[in-house]
Structure formats: structure tokens, C-alpha cells
């Protein structure tokens, strides 16, 4: 009797792929390896989307925004289709809209957050130590990696102190995965966050201050055609919602993923503990080895032929970052976590080309500072990857829970 497949699974010979399965959520890398070697342009017939799995193809697609459009959304489901989100815009609107955000959220502004990031990381670790002691287990995700970026993004966006607890609550609800989390709750949180930011924008329009909200309200930008642009209240609220979610999720997932990689490769963990100057390059390797953003959706604007496969116009194409960063054509021994690995300047784990992530530097600094303080204060820390909890989420990868023991305070 033929195997009964779910509505979200597809078969090619003996290979079965279901992007919603727990098997894929637990370990997507064998699936990617099969695709790279056997079907570098893989067609999921039942859901009618294509996956590009080789590094060179993924990198080139990121650079070619004219053929691989963002305008139809960036997930398999197209849930966030178009609307006002920055990631869902193509040229020419994307250019001036991103330039506005770059002016407000400059690298200098983000670098100035370093002392705040360190202060919050230390406070969270010390709180956990006081609560659980050197030998008590606690959850690295809910008590540290989720908390830290929420504090940081609130500081970056200039969210008033009296609103931060509510932003924290709603963002946590939106990003929650696993037991008790539902699409309805996530949508409720999404609406709640938008309403909160919209109210803040309206208040700042009446009473401007020296903060990012007021700066965006006042900002005007001329595009390449000489047309002047200003953002409306709803657009500014949406930008802040995007920043609050996107600026949080990468860090929240990368910190526990990095901790697990170090535990699985103890020689690298020891090397890092003995030389904290290697942490910035270790962060690069964490993001390569197990990137939080696994799939980036695009839609073809015209017919494309790759590796003998023709992708018609107006078809969903997923750029598999998680596969690209494990492609042996680009990275020798890709399944080995190696903090001394030479990094590739064309890295794709933050996107590439016009849609490259605005918050690259901030995310890397948050991850780096988190591990600097963890190693400095608790050099014998240990996590338990075999007891991590995961849920099936198609575009992103990370754990919903990870037990950690800090060990003695240094």
C-alpha cells in the first residue's frame, strides 16, 4: 500500500519533504543535503513552490530583486503579503522607504547601545543566578534569549518606559511557539502591537520629542525621480512593528542555537572560553551553522531556468539560507562548527542585496555581548541540547526551550 502523505508533503522518488513536519523542524539539514545533490531546484508539487538550495543560486537570487520579487510576501504561506511592510516592497518604493529607516536607525545609533545591551545581559544572568544558584536548571530561552532583545529593541525605538511592559508582553505572545500558542493569539498580539505603536506615533505628532518616532514623523526624503515622500502614522507604526519583531527573533533564536553548537563541539567551546577575542567570529559561525532565518520567500516576475528546471513566472520560490550555509561548494566541512573558519563576505544569513537586513550590526553585537558576559561570569555554563524543545515553524529555526546550568560564579 502506498504511503499516505499529508496535504503539505510531497514526494520525489523515495524522498519525502514536508516543511510543516517535526522531522524537518528537528533537523532540516539532511533534507537540504538531498536537495542540493539531487534536485537543486526542488518543486513542492502539492503546495506549488520551488526551493533553491545551493549557495551560489541563493546568493544570486538575493541579488536579483527584479526577477525574484518580495512584493508577494516572504513566507511559504504569503501571510504577510504586501501591505505596508518594508520587506514586502520592491523598487522603487523599497529604496526610499529603506533609506528613511537607515537615516533614523544608523549604525552609530545602534553602536551607542552597547553599554545598555551589556547592562541588561548582566542583569538577566545575575537574576537567573540568584534565583537558581550554580546548579539549578533554568530555561535559557524564556529567561534570557527572549528577554534581552526585547529590552534592547525598546531602547532603540525609544519606547517610553510606561509602555515597555506591554510591548514586552505582546511581543512575547506574538513570538511564542509550542503549547498554548495559537495563530489567533499571534494575530491578537500583532494587532495589539500595531495599536500600541500607532497610538505612540499619534501622541508624538502632537508632542514631538528627540526620539526615533518624532524623527520619522518629521523626515522627508526625495526619491530618484525627484518625488518627496513622508510616512503616514500607519506606515510608521508598521515600521516599528517590523523592527520590534524582526529585531527580536534573530537574537532570541541565535543565542540558544549558538550555545547548543558549542556544547556539541566542546573543543570549540573551550577555545572560545580561553580567548574571548574570538567571539565576533564565533557569532558569524553560529549564524552560518544554524541560521535562525532558514527560508526567504520570493516570487518570480518572469520565467527562470536553473539546473534544467524551468520555474514559470509568478511562482513562489524559497531561498534556502539554511541549505546555502551548509553547502560544501562554499564551506569546507560545512557540518562542523568551527569558530576559526574564514567567513564569506557574501554571507546570506541576513539576506543580501537590496533587502539585506537593517539590523545586522545590532543583532551581532547582542549575540556577542550575551556570550561575552556568559563566559566571563559563568565559565562552566552548560546547556543540554538533547532536551531542547522545538516546534514546527516553516521559515525560522530555533528552540522554544533549552535547559541551562550556570555553574559557579567567576
**CATH dotted code for 10-405:** 1.10.630.10
Q: How many residues does the chain have?
A: 410
Burial letters 30-65, b for 16+ CB under 10 A, else e: ebbbbbbeebbbbbbeebebbbbbbbebbbbbbbeb
- List the one residue out of 134, 326, 150, 174 whose CA is nearest residue 251: 150
**Whole-number pLDDT of residue 115:** 96
Q: What share of the chain is helix, strand, coil (3-state, %, to 5)?
A: 50, 10, 35
**Whole-number pLDDT of residue 3:** 60
330 three-class SS: coil
C-alpha cell at 92: 522603487
| Grouped pLDDT means (10 residues each) for the chain, 410 residues | 72 92 92 98 95 96 89 68 56 65 76 93 98 97 91 83 77 61 75 88 89 86 80 85 77 95 98 96 95 90 97 95 95 96 76 66 93 98 96 79 96
Residue 277 CB-density burial (10 A; 0-12 exposed, 13-18 middle, 19+ buried)? exposed
**Whole-number pLDDT of residue 1:** 35
Angle of helix 360-377 versus helix 266-274 axis, rounded to 10: 90
Output the 3-class SS for 237-290: HHHHHHHHHHHHHHHHHHHHHHHHHHHHCHHHHHHHHHCHHHHHHHHHHHHHHC
φ and ψ of 189, to 5 deg: -70, -40
Amino acid at each position: 500500500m502506498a504511503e499516505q502523505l499529508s496535504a503539505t508533503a510531497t514526494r520525489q522518488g523515495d524522498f519525502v519533504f514536508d516543511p510543516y513536519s517535526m522531522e524537518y523542524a528537528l533537523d532540516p539539514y539532511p533534507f537540504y543535503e538531498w536537495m542540493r545533490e539531487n534536485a537543486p531546484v526542488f518543486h513542492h508539487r502539492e503546495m506549488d513552490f520551488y526551493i533553491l538550495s545551493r549557495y551560489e543560486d541563493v546568493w544570486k537570487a538575493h541579488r536579483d530583486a527584479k526577477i525574484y520579487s518580495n512584493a508577494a510576501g516572504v513566507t511559504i504561506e504569503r501571510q504577510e503579503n504586501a501591505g505596508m511592510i518594508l520587506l514586502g516592497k520592491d523598487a522603487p518604493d523599497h529604496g526610499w522607504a529603506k533609506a528613511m529607516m537607515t537615516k533614523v536607525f544608523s549604525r552609530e545609533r545602534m553602536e551607542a547601545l552597547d553599554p545598555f545591551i551589556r547592562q541588561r545581559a548582566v542583569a538577566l544572568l545575575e537574576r537567573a543566578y540568584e534565583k537558581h544558584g550554580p546548579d539549578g536548571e533554568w530555561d535559557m530561552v524564556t529567561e534570557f534569549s527572549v528577554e534581552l532583545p526585547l529590552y534592547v529593541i525598546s531602547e532603540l525605538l525609544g519606547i517610553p518606559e510606561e509602555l515597555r511592559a506591554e510591548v514586552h508582553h505582546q511581543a512575547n505572545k506574538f513570538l511564542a511557539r509550542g503549547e498554548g500558542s495559537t495563530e489567533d493569539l499571534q494575530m491578537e498580539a500583532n494587532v495589539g502591537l500595531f495599536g500600541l505603536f500607532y497610538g505612540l506615533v499619534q501622541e508624538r505628532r502632537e508632542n514631538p520629542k528627540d526620539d526615533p518616532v518624532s524623527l520619522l514623523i518629521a523626515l522627508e526624503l526625495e526619491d530618484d525621480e525627484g518625488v518627496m515622500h513622508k510616512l503616514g502614522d500607519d506606515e510608521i507604526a508598521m515600521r516599528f512593528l517590523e523592527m520590534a519583531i524582526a529585531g527580536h527573533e534573530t537574537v532570541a533564536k541565535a543565542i540558544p542555537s549558538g550555545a547548543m553548537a558549542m556544547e556539541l563541539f566542546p573543543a570549540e567551546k573551550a577555545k572560545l572560553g580561553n580567548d574571548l577575542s574570538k567571539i565576533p567570529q564565533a557569532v558569524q559561525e553560529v549564524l552560518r551553522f544554524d541560521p535562525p532565518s532558514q527560508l526567504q520567500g520570493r516570487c518570480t516576475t518572469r520565467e527562470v531556468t536553473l539546473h534544467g528546471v524551468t520555474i514559470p513566472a509568478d511562482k513562489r520560490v524559497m531561498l534556502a539560507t539554511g541549505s546555502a550555509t551548509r553547502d560544501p561548494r562554499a564551506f569546507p566541512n560545512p557540518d562542523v562548527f568551527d569558530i576559526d573558519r574564514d567567513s564569506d563576505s557574501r554571507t546570506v544569513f541576513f539576506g543580501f542585496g537590496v533587502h539585506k537586513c537593517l539590523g545586522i550590526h545590532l543583532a551581532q553585537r547582542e549575540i556577542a555581548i550575551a556570550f561575552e558576559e556568559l563566559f566571563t561570569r559563568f565559565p562552566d555554563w552548560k546547556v543540554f541540547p538533547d532536551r531542547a524543545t522545538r516546534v514546527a515553524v516553516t521559515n525560522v529555526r530555533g528552540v522554544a526551550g533549552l535547559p541551562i546550568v550556570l555553574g559557579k560564579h567567576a
